[in-house]
């Protein structure tokens, strides 16, 4: 096995990676704020983490991945307050959607999905340690703040120029810019809307609620120990979120919090970041409605390296749909073949080696996909020659499945055969004509005939869609 190398934001370089104990990777991934369904930009980050997860498995290591659910924060409280409900009433349906969307995109489950509201005691324990060590203080507004000028390493992840640090100036919001590096809130004094929405807890410093950064420190250390192997998130989390997590965790324990910090770049639409506040978001629901299979979205995301920006467009998604159709076709061909030419064995060996080398080189999925498509082209050419070598065929199947165990890009039911497709299209045209002539009994009869061949049809504003049921 070649070395596994990963870009570390902490050192701004690609470094060899292995878990500290040599066996199990302990990985924390910042999860969604569950006030609205996650958008495809969020899912680009979760797919980069899914890729990392699967490459870790391919390398033969065990993995414990934790992904938190931020179920208390400024936005959730605002939404609950506006609707006159509690924060858990806001977050419960959103968590369900998140689970379903992850399943749709074939994102493998993390080992633990802890919720912030279930970990208030752990968070308060960290605040206490920081206050005891003189790194945090209770301010006159009743909130507890982190004194960033007391932590000598403050800014080491985001490479913040320490001269920008404004000692004593405070920020209560969870999100703020680098230009405003200030003492940030660990524990926020309760306001009436916090009490009204169920977002206030007792503490030694009075009723209040946790800051966003604090939850991740508490849950990461609870489930993974004081030093993690990898901590991931989107690139926008480097500052302040991850910088503040380091200040809290290392300030409390005196130990390095995470050995590797890994960040995925943004998904863009029409050149700007996909973001809820910009109103340019698309969701998994949109993919479903447009009939874009999960395999195609995965292909689209993996076609660009995770540290480069990726622009979403109809054309790119179309191209990915076409790409995964070819993956599905080869899956069917390999499954039904009885043998192959001996040459296929070497072709499979080459593909496996190239894909592994690419994935272990800082998760270079676009190169891996390129190697997969070279394999598809060459394997099809060999299968056209109708060889009888069983061993070569078995090896090709094995390699194909191994590559797909990481990328997971075979579309659901691989496409129906072209003859069937033509028959369905003809029947649908006949049905459309019958309806135009208002011969509804005739139209219904055609529909039954189509369904009789295991085809589901659906009339949409964009025309009639159909698919073969499994």
- Partner interacting with residue 41 (select from ligand AMP, Zn ion, none; CB below 5-8 Å by kind): ligand AMP
Return the range that interacts with ligand AMP (CB under 6 A); candidates 42-50, 165-173, 246-254, 316-324.
42-50
Task: Rule CB under 6 A: say whether 316 interacts with ligand AMP.
Answer: no
Q: Smallest distance, Å, CB 173 to Zn ion?
A: 16
Contact flag: residue 147 with Zn ion (CB under 5 A): no
Least separation in angstroms between residue 216's CB and Zn ion is: 3
C-alpha distances out from residue 386 to 55, 194, 335, 347, Å = 34, 70, 14, 16
Written as six digits, the tokens of 438 are 């208002």
Preceding omega of 240 cis (within 30 degrees of 0): yes
Interface with ligand AMP, residue 275, by CB under 6 A: yes
Contact status, residue 412 vs residue 295, Cβ threshold 8 Å = yes
Q: Are 230 and 27 in contact (CB under 8 A)?
A: yes
> Which of Zn ion, ligand AMP, none is residue 216 near (CB under 5 to 8 Å by kind)?
Zn ion
Q: Are strands 208-210 and 24-29 parallel, antiparallel or unpaired?
A: unpaired
Report which of 98, 17, 43 is spatially closest to residue 264, judged by C-alpha positions. 43
- Binding range to Zn ion, per CB under 5 A, among 28-36, 95-103, 145-153, 424-432: 28-36
216 part of the interface to Zn ion, by CB under 5 A: yes
Binding pattern to Zn ion, positions 304-323, x when CB under 5 A? --------------------
Q: Which of 25, 30, 144, 296 binds Zn ion (CB under 5 A)?
A: 30
CB of 308 to ligand AMP, least distance (A): 12
Q: Please count the other Cβ atoms lying within 10 Å of the Cβ belonging to residue 427.
A: 18
Stretch that binds ligand AMP, among 13-21, 41-49, 114-122, 336-344 (CB under 6 A): 41-49
Handedness of CA 300, 301, 305, 311 (dihedral sign): positive
Q: Which is nearer to ligand AMP, 275 or 443 (by Cβ)?
A: 275
Q: How far is the CB of 4 from ligand AMP (least distance, A)?
A: 22
CA distance 216 to 261: 14
Number of residues that bind Zn ion (CB under 5 A): 2
Q: Does 333 bind ligand AMP (CB under 6 A)?
A: no
Q: Is the dihedral of CA 237, 241, 244, 249 positive or negative?
A: negative
Sole residue written with tokens 């996650």: 38
Question: Does 33 sit near ligand AMP (CB under 6 A)?
Answer: yes
Q: Output the CA–CA distances (angstroms, integers) from residue 283 to 80, 293, 392, in the order listed.
A: 22, 13, 42
Binding partner selected for residue 275 from Zn ion, ligand AMP, none, CB under the kind-specific 5 to 8 Å limit: ligand AMP
- Cα separation, 212 vs 360, whole angstroms: 33
**Nearest distance from C-beta of residue 30 to Zn ion, angstroms:** 3
Residue 256 has φ and ψ, to the nearest 5°, of -60, 130
Cβ contacts of residue 355 below 8 Å, gap of 6+?
A: 368, 371, 372, 403, 406
Q: Name the binder of 234 from ligand AMP, Zn ion, none, CB < 5-8 A by kind.
A: ligand AMP
What gap in Å lies between CA 470 and CA 173, rounded to an integer? Answer: 50
Contact status: 312 vs ligand AMP (CB under 6 A): no
**Which CB atom, from 43 or from 400, has the smaller least distance to ligand AMP?**
43
> Residues 199-238: x/- map of binding to ligand AMP (CB under 6 A)?
----------------------------------xx-xx-
Q: Which is nearer to ligand AMP, 32 or 323 (CB)?
A: 32
Which of 96, 53, 49 shows the shortest CA–CA distance to 71?
96
User: What single string gives the DSSP state of each residue in 126-162?
Assistant: HHHHHHHTTSEEE-TTS-EEE-GGG-TTTTTTTT--G
Applying CB under 5 A, the residues found at the interface with Zn ion are 30, 216
Footprint of ligand AMP on this chain (CB under 6 A)? 30, 32-33, 41-42, 44-45, 233-234, 236-237, 266-267, 273-275
């Amino acid at each position: 096995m070649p070395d596994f190398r990963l870009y570390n934001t902490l050192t701004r370089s690609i470094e060899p990676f292995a878990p500290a104990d040599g066996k199990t990777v302990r990985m924390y991934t910042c999860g969604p704020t569950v006030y609205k369904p996650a958008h495809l930009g969020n899912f680009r980050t979760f797919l980069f983490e899914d890729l990392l997860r699967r490459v870790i498995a391919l390398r033969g290591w065990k993995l414990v991945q934790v992904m938190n659910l931020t179920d208390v924060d400024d936005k959730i409280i605002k939404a609950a307050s506006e609707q006159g409900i509690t924060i858990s009433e806001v977050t419960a349906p959103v968590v369900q959607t998140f689970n379903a969307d992850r399943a749709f995109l074939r994102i493998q489950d993390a080992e633990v999905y802890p919720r912030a509201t279930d970990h208030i005691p752990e968070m308060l324990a960290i605040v206490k340690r920081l206050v005891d060590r003189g790194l945090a203080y209770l301010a006159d507004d009743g909130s507890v703040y982190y004194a960033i000028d007391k932590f000598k390493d403050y800014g080491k992840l985001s490479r913040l120029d320490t001269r920008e640090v404004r000692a004593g100036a405070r920020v209560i919001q969870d999100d703020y810019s680098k230009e405003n590096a200030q003492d940030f809130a660990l524990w926020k004094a309760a306001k009436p809307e916090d009490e009204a929405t169920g977002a206030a807890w007792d503490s030694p410093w009075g009723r209040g609620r946790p800051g966003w950064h604090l939850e991740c420190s508490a849950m990461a250390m609870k489930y993974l120990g004081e030093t993690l192997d990898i901590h991931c998130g989107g690139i926008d989390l480097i500052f302040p979120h991850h910088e503040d997590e380091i200040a809290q965790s290392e300030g409390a324990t005196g130990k390095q919090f995470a050995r590797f910090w890994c960040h995925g770049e943004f998904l863009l639409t029409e050149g700007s970041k996909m973001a809820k506040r910009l109103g340019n978001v698309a969701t998994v629901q949109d993919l479903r409605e447009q009939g874009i299979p999960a395999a195609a979205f995965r292909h689209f995301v993996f076609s660009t390296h995770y540290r480069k920006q990726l622009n979403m467009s109809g054309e790119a998604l179309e191209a990915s749909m076409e790409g995964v159709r070819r993956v599905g076709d080869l899956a069917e061909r390999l499954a039904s073949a009885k043998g192959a030419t001996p040459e296929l064995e070497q072709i499979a060996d080459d593909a496996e080696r190239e894909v592994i080398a690419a994935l272990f080189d800082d998760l270079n999925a676009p190169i891996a996909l390129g190697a997969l498509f070279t394999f598809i082209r060459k394997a099809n050419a060999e299968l056209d020659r109708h060889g009888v070598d069983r061993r070569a065929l078995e090896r090709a199947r094995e390699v194909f499945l191994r590559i797909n165990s990481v990328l997971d890009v075979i579309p659901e039911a691989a496409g129906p055969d072209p003859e069937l497709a033509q028959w369905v299209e003809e029947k649908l045209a006949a049905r459309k004509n019958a309806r135009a002539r208002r011969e509804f009994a005739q139209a219904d009869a055609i529909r039954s005939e189509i369904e009789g061949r295991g085809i589901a049809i659906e009339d949409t504003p964009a025309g009639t869609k159909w698919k073969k049921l499994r």
